[in-house]
A and B are shown apart, each in its own frame.
Chain A
């Protein structure tokens, strides 16, 4: 089975721009979660989607949004980028409840200049 895939792997943007990251979960997995990883704050939960519905949301500003499609693929969007948004954005998929083993993708490394 193919693992979780994320595109793009690397991205450079400037302040004020917006960005869209994509995640394809493991085949058959319906829960997709997003995490932000920075050296200072570590791994922080952004949101989780199941059946195209946001089921859980972390403590991030409204500039961070996401969605899930009927094939379980997910996208996250960050608008009005700030320097502090530079991070590794990780997507994780799990089978159904989101409480099973989470399988992480390789991440998208975003640099905001």
Chain B
């Protein structure tokens, strides 16, 4: 079945460092949605990418969708302790979201 691979599984950074998580698929992705889940919380929608090569920014967060629509990335500039959590990418398969396993980010001050 359809699979969405996400790397790395874990990432620890010092506050102020940058962070990137990557999402890959062997098949063409329909559209990519990114979610953040804080420890003990639930996934919260961040953004949706639909077009090939699309780049969107939200303050310190930059989201990219690959030209071939087989990969996506989330980059956080100058991380803060409030960025801790697990970041998930998800492909839209009809009305279902196929999630990657997520990247858990920890930040030390």
Contact = CB atoms under 8 A, between A and B. Distances in A.
Interface of A: 31, 33, 35, 42-45, 48, 50, 55-56, 58-59, 90, 97-99, 101-107
Interface of B: 1, 33, 35, 41-45, 48, 88, 90, 92, 94-102
A6 B78 CA distance: 35
Given A45-B96, A56-B96, A59-B1, 16 more contacts: A33-B96, A33-B97, A35-B99, A42-B101, A43-B99, A43-B102, A45-B97, A45-B98, A55-B95, A90-B43, A98-B96, A101-B45, A104-B35, A104-B44, A104-B45, A106-B42
Contacts of A59: 1
B95 A33 contact: yes
Question: Secondary structure at chain B's binding surface: helix, strand, loop or mixed?
Answer: strand
B95 A31 contact: yes
A99 B95 contact: yes
B13 to A, nearest CB: 22
Contact of A42 (B44, B45, B48, B100): B100
A98 B90 CA distance: 14
